[in-house]
A = this chain, B = another copy of it.
Amino acid sequence: MTRHGYFGPRGTFTQMALRDWLADDDAAFAEAVPFATVPAALDGVRTGEVDVVMVPIENSVEGGVSATLDALNSGDPLSIQGEVLVPIKFVLAARAGTQRADINGVGSHSHAWPQVRAWMAKELPRAAYVPALSTAAAAEALASGEAQPFEAAVCAPLAADVFDLEVLAHDIGDNASAVTRFVLVGRRGLVPARTGADKTSVVLFQHDDHAGGLLQLLEQFAARGINLTLLESRPTGAAMGSYCFSVDFEGHLDDERVAEALLGLRRVSADIRFLGSYPRADGQASDVVRTAADESYASAREWLRGLRG
């Protein structure tokens, strides 16, 4: 049986993503292992403690999740198995009996706070922000009964449920359509079969400056009619201005145009890390121009074989 892990603790949006992924497999969900940090979760796969882990990778408001991108970009390579989109609906949760007037401090994760700033400014203008390790950690702290520098938490509905808190306000996010994308990460070499509605993720390192360098990399996609769905720059840490690029694009390792783009990128980039090909959460099939279809590649290769006798 596949052993699952996730970036925890219980009650996070990441656990909600895992529940979505596992659908009705209650047993697997119950046995899933929470990890305290994203790097720890990925290491859990590397050491074999679990088979796959769910981690957040991109938020429609806050952008790429740096901790995840950086942890995927270094260390032993892993392979993304799939993705889940979770609408981000924050609640304001507190111990039973708490009134809004009692709230002087609000605990939450530093990524969540900017997403509820407008609601807070209007509804609880006097409340101070208190940083916590995660949204669920803030909820758990309240549930512990110990003294805290805050009376309420901004967290996922699941956290209020798990830690038995009262929800004082629902859906308090400033951006009602905020969504976070999570990926299920497994061991290197595991590549799910092509479905026709797939995505591939890579990390690209360029040789020199940003100008020509990135342009040359992007042309490898454009020349094969491949659409990008994400381009996130991340510093390599080597020096100010030294960046790598996390890139998601349409298609699967087994598509000819993807294979050729990967070959080209491998040649012209300073380095490339393959992070996986996997079905898209939205099931949208890739839009492929005729000259980039597998048949077009096959027919060209047959022609070349003919020339070479």
Select which of B67, B212, B229 is within 8 A of A210 by beta carbon: B229
A218 contacts partner chain B, Cβ-Cβ < 8 Å: yes
Contacts of A296 in B (CB 8 A): 267
A23 to B307 alpha-carbon distance, docked (Å): 30
A74 contacts partner chain B, Cβ-Cβ < 8 Å: no
Verify A237–B175 contact, CB threshold 8 A. yes
Name the prevailing secondary structure of the A interface residues.
Answer: mixed
Verify A307–B241 contact, CB threshold 8 A. no
Contacts of A309 in B (CB 8 A): 189, 191
Copy total for this chain: 4
Tell me the nearest residue of chain B to A110, going by C-beta: B110
Verify A60–B211 contact, CB threshold 8 A. no
Verify B243–A214 contact, CB threshold 8 A. no
A169 contacts partner chain B, Cβ-Cβ < 8 Å: no
Contacts of A231 in B (CB 8 A): 210, 214, 233, 243
A110 to B175 alpha-carbon distance, docked (Å): 24
Known: A191-B308, A264-B300. 12 other contacts (CB 8 A): A59-B235, A62-B66, A177-B239, A211-B218, A211-B222, A211-B226, A214-B218, A214-B228, A214-B231, A230-B243, A259-B304, A266-B303
Query: What residues of chain A have their CB less than 8 Å away from a CB belonging to chain B?
Result: 58-64, 66-67, 70, 85, 110, 114, 129, 131-133, 175, 177-179, 181, 189, 191, 209-212, 214-215, 218-223, 226-235, 237, 239-243, 249, 253-254, 259, 262-264, 266-268, 274, 291-292, 296-297, 299-301, 303-304, 307-309
User: Top 6 closest A-B pairs, CB basis?
Assistant: A210-B228, A131-B131, A266-B300, A60-B240, A63-B235, A211-B227
A177 to B307 alpha-carbon distance, docked (Å): 35
Tell me the nearest residue of chain B to A232, going by C-beta: B233
Verify B85–A240 contact, CB threshold 8 A. yes
